[in-house]
Structure 1
Amino acid sequence: MQSAASSRPFVGVVLVIGSCLSLPFGAAVAAQLFPVLGPWGATSLRIVIAALLLLVIVRPRPRRWSRPQWVAAVLFGVSLAVMNGFFYAAIDRIPLGPAVAIEFLGPLVLAAVLTRRLTDALWVGVALAGMALLGIDGLIGAEPLDPLGVLFILIAAGFWIMYIRMSARVGALIPGADGLAIGLLVASVLLLPVGVPASITVAAAPDLLLLAAITAVLSSVIPYAFELAALRRLPQRVFGVLLSLEPAFATLAGWLMLGQDATALRMLAVALVIAASVGTTLGIRHERGPFTAPVPLPD
């Protein structure tokens, strides 16, 4: 019978896969809000709804938090606000699949920095090759990628690194989902200037509110809760490479829900990042000794 300790990596992998499945389909739903609310308005509304849902469900009690706990939660909220805002601004200009693949450069860089084993480095290289193919496809394909959209997604990639680091920090310092609830609240406040006009628009269109609620659950509540739990079970380097599954699911979501084409070169790139994820997952089993916890940040 498998022990609780040995099952922790497997549970972490399942949680990451669940997050990778949920996020792109939430983004595909959110894209339907862009013509009315704009990408930043949709971001704000989604984060506000997610924050309200978690505050009601979790009922966090931060009064007794220490200074390091507050700093971690606030920085976590900053990463959520900026990462999501620029991600939505990017997918308003470029297809969902390539956008997520380019954004994955953030976790890929983090995985490369934290990697200590040769096999992990090789899988990072495979994922990087996939990203390179996506870049080539964006330049020479029938629909070249919008340069401003690429810039936006690169900014989101940088804050994705911050999100992973701070999510691990919050998971280590704050029990349960209290840190996630407060982090989303902080992000909501930061996005308030673009959120007020969106809220006024939605007040007169209940159908938009339903889409925003679905987006909040699929793109915030489910994936962030799953990733927070996963980072309590997986090293950040493994977590970063496993996220390479997300471009594959994003390509699928873009094709099914938004009618976005998937070229042969793009599909090959997606296959490479899937291979990197599978290879990294299988490599977990060969690690010796107790499973490595996420690397804490200095106070």
Structure 2
Amino acid sequence: MWLWAKAIRLLVLISYKPHVAQLYNQVTIKPGQRLYMVNQQYPYRVKFTEDTSTPRSTGDLSKPSKRPHQMSSEGNGEKIRSPANTSSTPRTDQHRMSDGSPPPKQTPPAESDKSGSAGHWSQGLKVSMQDPKMQVYKDDQVVVIKDKYPKARYHWLVLPWDSISSLKALRSEHMELLKHMQRVGDQMVQQCPDAHKLSFRLGYHAIPSMSHVHLHVISQDFDSPCLKNKKHWNSFTTDYFVESQDVIAMLEHDGKVTVKEGTNELLKLPLRCHLCHKEQPTIPKLKEHLKTHLPS
């Protein structure tokens, strides 16, 4: 808070994100007025200049300055609040500003905060596995759910109730659990009405995008609108997809699971049919080709 002895012009520059247009607000401060700087969300700069222009009439000074327009951020349509919308000033910030030091900069909320109580999107499996509508089987060790974005006609996930973040967190004491997950996955295949004409694979992504260990049980038709790009395809048809039996063998032999360096590069490999290995230029072309392998 400052007390001014002469009229000045105050120019406030607020910058929320580099790609969002900057907002300017110019205010004339009259002698004797107190200035409070209130900003809890956005970095800003303040410029003070002495007012050398012709003084405005009393009527003009009583007119409020025009507030900057609210702007929509790109892509999500969310509103960015202008500083004029701030309703109160925290007492702690008043003390900081009264001693001459600038108010602390506040960074925009992280992506993980935007989803509220649900947490970051990578934690979504922990929510889905508790949803009775998603569950197709459960026992005291594991639960089976439908993949929310299946990459084939049949695509289930087998998840342990125990909290295990990734393959790297697995140890030899988890071996029996993984064997049980394998058995449950095999049962899902046996109960599938199309098991007699479709083949299945059971395995893990070497570097999963979702937190919490989960075993994929997926039919090899890959006939799904959710399979949309090269990353989707290569994550199930290259060594990025680690067979369940291989993971169990690593635990038995080494007591841990090792992911090879450069595994992420496998997602960038050319599109190749997983059956005849013929290269395809695009996902639409690949899907057309896959139809030739589908059982009649």
TM-score, normalised relative to structure 2? 0.23
- Relative to total residues, which structure has the larger strand share, 1 or 2? 2
Rg (Cα) greater in structure = 2
TM-score, normalised relative to structure 1? 0.22
